[in-house]
């Protein structure tokens, strides 16, 4: 089922979102200050490529205050808009029964894109 979901996801926009995250990550990595944020874009982009069958979890142990500061900067500088976009598409897809699995994936992406620092993908 995960394979079928990933194929449908890729056909109906998942690949384009992946490309957008990869371009954003590359642009952010051009500056030294933007490298941590670019790495997070790459992490989210890889999840958008094949979201079915993967989970987002909090990193075990102490992530430190730097992770919190980076999450605050991420939210202020655009993470809120990315998360709201995934929330919008998740609600839109949840209206139909067929769209429920895809809505679940958008909600997973929303939680990761709101605060990506201190989270891992399994």
Q: pLDDT band for position 9 (50/70/90)?
A: very high
State the Cα–Cα distance between residues 110 and 114, nearest whole angstrom: 6
Model pTM score:
0.88
Residue 56 CA, chain-centre distance (Å), reads 9
Neighbouring-strand partners of residue 120 = 57
Q: pLDDT band for position 62 (50/70/90)?
A: confident
pLDDT for residue 26: 96
Residue 105 CB partners (closer than 8 Å, separation 6+): 5, 9, 51, 52
State the Cα–Cα distance between residues 24 and 33, nearest whole angstrom: 14
State the Cα–Cα distance between residues 35 and 2, nearest whole angstrom: 32
Q: Is the pLDDT of residue 30 over 90?
A: yes
Q: pLDDT band for position 47 (50/70/90)?
A: very high
**SS3 label, residue 119:** strand
- pLDDT, mean of residues 100-111: 94
Q: pLDDT band for position 60 (50/70/90)?
A: confident
State the Cα–Cα distance between residues 79 and 45, nearest whole angstrom: 14
Q: What's phi and psi for 57, nearest 5 deg?
A: -130, 155
State the Cα–Cα distance between residues 25 and 41, nearest whole angstrom: 5
Q: What's phi and psi for 121, nearest 5 deg?
A: -110, 125
């Amino acid at each position: 089922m995960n394979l079928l979901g990933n194929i449908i996801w890729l056909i109906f926009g998942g690949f384009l979102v992946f490309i957008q995250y990869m371009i954003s990550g590359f642009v952010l990595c051009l500056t030294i200050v933007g490298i941590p944020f670019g790495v997070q874009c790459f992490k989210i982009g890889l999840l958008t490529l094949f979201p079915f069958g993967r989970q987002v979890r909090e990193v075990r142990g102490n992530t430190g205050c730097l992770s919190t500061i980076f999450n605050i900067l991420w939210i202020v500088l655009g993470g809120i808009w990315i998360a709201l976009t995934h929330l919008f598409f998740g609600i839109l897809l949840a209206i139909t029964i067929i769209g429920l699995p895809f809505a679940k994936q958008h909600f997973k992406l929303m939680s990761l894109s709101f605060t990506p620092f201190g989270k891992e993908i399994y």
